[in-house]
Amino acid sequence: MGIDVYMHATFLLLVGFIVVATWVESHNPARTLFSVFFVLVIFGCIVLHELGHALTARRYGIRTRDIVLLPIGGVARLERMPEEPNQELLVALAGPAVNVLIALGLFAVLTAFGRIPTLRQAATISWTGGDFLPSLMAVNVWLVLFNLIPAFPMDGGRVLRALLAKRLGYTEATQSAARVGQGIALAFGFLGLFFDPFLLFIALFVWVGASGEAGMVQMRSSLGGVPVERVMLRNFRTLQPDETLAQAVEEILAGWQQDFAVVFGDHVLGILTREDLVRAIARGGTGLPVRDAMRRDFQVVDSHDMLEQAVQVLQRSGSRSLPVEHDGELVGMLTIENVGEFMMIDSAIRQAKQKLEAPKAIV
C-alpha cells in the first residue's frame, strides 16, 4: 500500500533483553525462543494497529510517511493529523479498534475449541510459556486500555483533543490535551521511580510528544493566513555560477547570510548552502566555481503563498533557505531563522494584546 515499515535499531535491544531475561529466569532454550516469538507476534499486532491509523487517515487524503517500530511500541508518521474533530476521532480510534478485533477473533477461536477464557486468564500474560492464544488475547486487551489513556500524543490523548475541539478552538484544545498528557507523564515518572523503570521511558515519550505537538500546533496557528512576502528577506545577496567559492566565502564572512541563490540573469539556477560550500572547499579548494558546489535540485515558493505551506516546503527540502519568486522574478529568500523570529515577535504581540484586553481589577 506504499507505506514503508521500519525497525529502529534500538528494537534489537528489546529482543536481546527478552533473550537474556528469559534465559536467566529459566535456563530453558524452548522458553527463550517462545518469549522471542511471542514478542515478535505482539509487535505484529502493533503493526496492524498502526496500519489502522494509516488506512483510516488515507480515507481523508492524508498520507503516511512510514511506520517505525520502537522498543516502546510503534509510530505511524502521518503527514498531518486531520483538523476536523470527527475525522481525528476516527483516525485515533482506528488503531485500538484493530486490537479489539484481534482480541475478539482470538476469543472466538478459543470458544470454538471449548476453551472459553476466564476473566483471570484474559488479564494474565505469560511471557515464557503456557497458553499462547489467551496470552496474546490479553496483550491486545491491554494494548486497547493502555492506548486509550488520555495522555497526548497517545491515541487516548488524540481522542481527548478531538472531543475538546468540538467546543474549543483546535489550538486551545491541543494546549489543554497537552497539559493533561504532561500531567499523566509526571504521574508515570513518579510511579516509575518506585515500581517499574519502564514507566520512566513512557513518561519521557509522553512529555516530549505532548510538548512537540503543542508547539507545532502553536506554530501553525501563528503562521496561518500570513503571506510569505511579510516574512521573507528582501535585503539579500546572490551569486553567479561562474564566481569562485572564494567569493562566496567573502560574502559569508562579510555578512549574516549563510545560503545564497545562484542566479543567471533572471533565472535561479541553484542554491549554495554553507554546508555544501565547506564540503566543496575541502574537496577541491576555494578556486572551484560556484556551479560545482550548488544544489540544482531545490524548491521555490511564491511570495503570495501562505507561510504555513511554505514552511512545510522548507522542511521537506532539507534546507534552511528557499528562493521566493513572483511572476518568475526572484524577490526574496525565506529562511528558518526569519520564520522563527516572526513567530517570536508574533507571540510577544499576542501576549501584549492579552494583557491590554484583560479586565482590570476594581480597587
Domains detected in the chain = 4-223 (no CATH), 228-343 (3.10.580.10)
Query: From the centroid of its chain, how far is CA 120?
Result: 37
Alpha helices in 81-169 (DSSP H): 85-112, 119-122, 132-147, 155-165
- Stretch 132-142: mean pLDDT, rounded? 86
**What's the chain's average pLDDT?**
82
Band (pLDDT 50/70/90 cuts) for residue 220 is: low
Per-residue confidence (pLDDT) for residue 358, from 0 to 100: 60
Encode pLDDT of 314-352 as tens digits. Answer: 777 777 888 898 888 888 888 888 888 887 887 787 778
Say how many Å lie between the first and final Cα of the chain, rounded. Answer: 66
Q: pLDDT for 164-196, tens place per residue?
A: 888 887 777 878 888 888 888 888 888 888 877
Q: How far apart are CA 232 and CA 326, in angstroms?
A: 12
* 227 pLDDT above the threshold of 60: yes
How distant, in Å, are the alpha carbons of 11, 77, 126, 193, 286 from that of 71? 5, 16, 19, 20, 47
Sign, CA torsion 290/294/298/304: negative
221 vs 123: CA distance, rounded Å: 44
Q: What is the pLDDT of residue 8?
A: 86
Q: What is the mean pLDDT of residues 242-251?
A: 89
Omega before 359 cis (within 30°)?
A: no
* Each residue's pLDDT tens digit, 72-97: 788 888 877 787 889 989 999 999 99
Type of residue numbered 24: V
**10-44 pLDDT tens trace:** 888 888 888 888 888 878 888 888 888 888 999 99
Write the DSSP symbol of residue 361. Answer: P
Are 323 and 333 in contact, with CB atoms under 8 Å apart?
yes
| Grid cell at residue 320 | 534552511
Q: Could you count the other beta carbons within 10 Å of the beta carbon of residue 140? A: 25
Is pTM beyond 0.75? Reply is: no
